[in-house]
């Protein structure tokens, strides 16, 4: 059976979009249109009630890219019909022109880009066709979330609130240009669990997220994990502050993912190469990490929230080996950066929304697994911490500084976990120092796709990251 694209709307509009591309192709040397129809539902319960809202990713609209005067311009809009094509065409011609005032500015000049030569590709990529958002069993989901919340509350009087959430998002996209005609539909889901505990004036919480391309299975994951998450929140009430210093640590897979993402992923986004903002340029084919480290990124490298068939610039998904046994091999790119660098794009051109710019962005970023057992890793540490609970991170691609914040660290003394906790844990340092210090890696790789990734302080996109447990040596504060 051939599956159809989830969005009936985009299916209906394809001919109108093709007509628009044809019309614009008479005026511009290159034309592409990205059409997006995303819908999703976000369910959330806490002590005061339940909310059901459209997901923040819900949107429907179009993005036109044209090539004129040796540069690329874009125009986003969300009203289209056969009757409106004349108006839309005129608007695109008008709005994609660089204004004379800007052109005349003595401070700037226009970059000259080559014309994009796309390969001819026609394809329909429909995977994990899941329950349509509007057919989700609201009763079942809300009852399940409430039951988990109520059971969590029963665990301790110290809990002042418990937040449990579930989100399913269905994405449909078309990309039509002079040489490409692509369509795709896929679904992902997220679930979150955050019990908030209080002792006196002290508030503490542990947060756990789950992601899957089969959203309904997340409800079971919430059910089977809530006790552990509650226990971690309660344990944090007695956590102490870490004494600043350099420690041997073991990172749980979510923290390994945070390091892969922040420490190195952002640094190999090739729009940073174009801007001379990436130290990584100087290290291609040079060692940047321990020989144990092989790092991937790619929509085709794993099955998680950023596993699409083609990116927001119509480039098919790939699996890029960024670091191969410690040696930096290549970066990840969007189309415009690849053009500037005379490279082949890697399928990493992602947009926060149909109306935002595409940048080189991470997809599924992770370290391959190793050969060590977690118990041996713990046994190998005289004094250090097992770090868990991803909070935040910030990139520094130019100077390779690293800032990763984790919710907790459990003390390891004489090769054993002691049950004493420190919180929060700020890891800082120099990226190659950290990556070269990796001395042990466990076998199993886990990915986490609950969070969103920003570029600087904006441009949020879904991305997953992860890896195995790793042993490293870092500065904690």
Partner 1 sequence: MRLDRLIEILNNSESINGWKLEETNQKSYELYYIRRDLEMNRAKNIHNIRLTVYKDFDIDGVEYKGSSVTKLHPTMTEEEIIQAINNAAYASQFAKVLYYPLVKPSEEKLEVIESNFKEKPIEEYLSAIVEAIFKVDVYEKGSINSTEIFITKLKTRLVNSCGIDYSSEKYLGTVEFITNWKEEKEEIELFQHIDFGDMDSEKLTQEVKEMLEMSRARAISKSTPALGKHRVILSGESVKQMMEYYYNQSATGYVYEKFSTAKIGESIQGDEIKGDKLSITLKPCLSGSIHSAVFDNDGVILKEVNIIKDGIIKSLWGNQRYSYYLDLKPTGVIRNMEVMCGKKSIKELKKDPYLEVVSFSSFQLDDFTGYFGGEIRLGWYYDGNEIIPVSGGSISGNIKDKHGEMYLSSEKISINEYLGPKHMVINDVTVAGN
SS3 at position 146: helix
The piece of 238-246, 299-307, 369-377, 411-419 that touches partner 1 (CB under 8 A) is: 238-246
Q: Which of residues 121-140 bind partner 1 (CB under 8 A)?
A: 134, 138-139
Interface with partner 1 includes 160 (CB under 8 A)? yes
Match 């930096």 to its residue by tokens. 328
SS3 at position 299: coil
CA 445 to chain CA mean position, Å: 17
**Distance of alpha carbon 138 from alpha carbon 336, whole angstroms:** 43
Q: Looking at beta carbons only, is 18 or 475 nearer to partner 1? A: 475
**Minimum gap (Å) between residue 445 Cβ and partner 1:** 27
**Distance of alpha carbon 339 from alpha carbon 330, whole angstroms:** 15
Q: Which of residues 267-306 bind partner 1 (CB under 8 A)?
A: 274-277, 279
Match 């986490």 to its residue by tokens. 448
**Distance of alpha carbon 334 from alpha carbon 311, whole angstroms:** 9
**Minimum gap (Å) between residue 424 Cβ and partner 1:** 5
Question: Count of residues for the chain?
Answer: 477
**Minimum gap (Å) between residue 138 Cβ and partner 1:** 5
The dihedral sign for the CA sequence 402, 408, 414, 415: negative
Q: Which of residues 386-405 bind partner 1 (CB under 8 A)?
A: 391-392, 394, 396, 398-399, 401-403, 405
**Distance of alpha carbon 169 from alpha carbon 183, whole angstroms:** 17
**Minimum gap (Å) between residue 64 Cβ and partner 1:** 10
Q: Which of residues 315-374 bind partner 1 (CB under 8 A)?
A: 336, 355, 357
Q: Which of residues 209-228 bind partner 1 (CB under 8 A)?
A: none
Q: Looking at beta carbons only, is 26 or 457 nearer to partner 1? A: 457
**Minimum gap (Å) between residue 131 Cβ and partner 1:** 14
SS3 at position 279: helix
SS (H, E, C) 185-223: EEEEEEEEEEEEEEECCEEEECCEEEEECCCCHHHHHHH
Q: Which of residues 185-204 bind partner 1 (CB under 8 A)?
A: 196, 198, 201-204
- The pair of three-digit structure tokens given for residue 381, joined into one six-digit string: 């540490």
| Interacting residue with partner 1 among 102, 131, 199, 375 (CB under 8 A) | 102
**Minimum gap (Å) between residue 441 Cβ and partner 1:** 25
| Interacting residue with partner 1 among 79, 83, 382, 419 (CB under 8 A) | 79
Q: Which of residues 403-442 bind partner 1 (CB under 8 A)?
A: 403, 405, 424, 426, 428
Q: What are phi and psi of 459, to 5 degrees?
A: 60, 65
**Minimum gap (Å) between residue 92 Cβ and partner 1:** 9
Q: Are 211 and 392 in contact (CB under 8 A)?
A: no
The number of residues that bind partner 1 (CB under 8 A) is 83
Q: Which of residues 450-469 bind partner 1 (CB under 8 A)?
A: 456-458
**Minimum gap (Å) between residue 163 Cβ and partner 1:** 9
| Interacting residue with partner 1 among 11, 25, 46, 178 (CB under 8 A) | 46
Interface with partner 1 includes 234 (CB under 8 A)? no
Strand (E) or helix (H) holding 341: helix 335-341
The piece of 44-52, 116-124, 150-158, 218-226 that touches partner 1 (CB under 8 A) is: 44-52
**Minimum gap (Å) between residue 96 Cβ and partner 1:** 7
Of the candidates 298, 301, 275, the residue with the CA atom closest to the CA atom of residue 347: 298
SS3 at position 267: helix
């Amino acid at each position: 059976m051939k599956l159809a694209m989830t969005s009936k709307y985009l299916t209906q509009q394809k001919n109108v979009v093709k007509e628009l591309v044809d019309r614009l192709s008479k005026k511009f040397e290159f034309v592409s249109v990205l059409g997006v129809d995303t819908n999703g539902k976000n369910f959330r319960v806490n002590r005061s009630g339940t909310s059901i809202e459209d997901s923040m990713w819900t949107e429907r609209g179009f993005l036109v890219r044209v090539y004129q005067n040796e540069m690329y311009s874009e125009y986003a809009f969300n009203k289209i019909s056969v009757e409106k094509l004349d108006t839309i065409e005129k608007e695109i011609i008008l709005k994609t022109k660089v204004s004379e005032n800007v052109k005349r500015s003595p401070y700037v000049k226009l970059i000259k880009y080559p014309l994009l030569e796309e390969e001819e590709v026609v394809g329909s990529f429909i995977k994990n066709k899941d329950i349509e958002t509007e057919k989700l069993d609201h009763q079942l989901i809300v009852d399940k979330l409430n039951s988990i919340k109520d059971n969590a509350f029963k665990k301790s009087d110290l809990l002042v609130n418990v937040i449990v959430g579930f989100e399913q998002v269905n994405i449909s996209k078309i990309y039509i240009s002079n040489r490409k005609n692509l369509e795709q539909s896929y679904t992902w889901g997220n679930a979150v669990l955050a019990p908030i505990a209080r002792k006196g004036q002290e508030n503490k919480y542990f947060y756990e997220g789950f992601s899957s391309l089969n959203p309904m299975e997340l409800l079971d994951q919430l059910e089977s994990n809530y006790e552990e998450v509650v226990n971690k929140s309660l344990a944090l009430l007695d956590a102490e502050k870490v004494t600043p210093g350099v420690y041997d640590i073991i990172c749980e897979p979510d923290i390994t993912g945070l390091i892969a993402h922040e420490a190195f992923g952002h640094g190999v986004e090739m729009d940073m190469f174009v801007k001379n903002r990436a130290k990584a340029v100087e290290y291609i084919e040079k060692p940047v990490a321990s020989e144990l480290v092989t790092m991937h990124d790619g929509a085709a490298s794993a099955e998680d929230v950023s596993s699409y068939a083609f990116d927001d610039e119509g480039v098919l998904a790939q699996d890029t080996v960024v670091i191969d046994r410690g040696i930096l091999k290549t970066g990840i790119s969007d189309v415009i950066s690849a053009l500037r660098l005379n490279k082949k794009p890697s399928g990493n051109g992602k947009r926060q929304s149909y109306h935002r710019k595409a940048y080189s962005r991470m997809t599924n970023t992770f370290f391959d697994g190793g050969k060590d057992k977690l118990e041996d890793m713990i046994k190998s540490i005289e004094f250090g911490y097992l770090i868990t609970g991803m909070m935040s991170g910030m990139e520094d691609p130019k100077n390779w500084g690293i800032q990763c914040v984790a919710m907790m660290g459990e003390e390891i003394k004489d090769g054993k976990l002691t049950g004493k906790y420190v919180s929060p844990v700020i890891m800082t340092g120099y990226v190659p120092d950290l990556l070269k210090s990796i001395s042990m890696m466990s076998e199993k790789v886990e990915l986490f796709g609950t969070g969103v990734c920003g570029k600087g302080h904006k441009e949020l996109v879904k991305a997953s990251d992860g890896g195995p447990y790793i042993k490293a040596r870092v500065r904690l504060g």
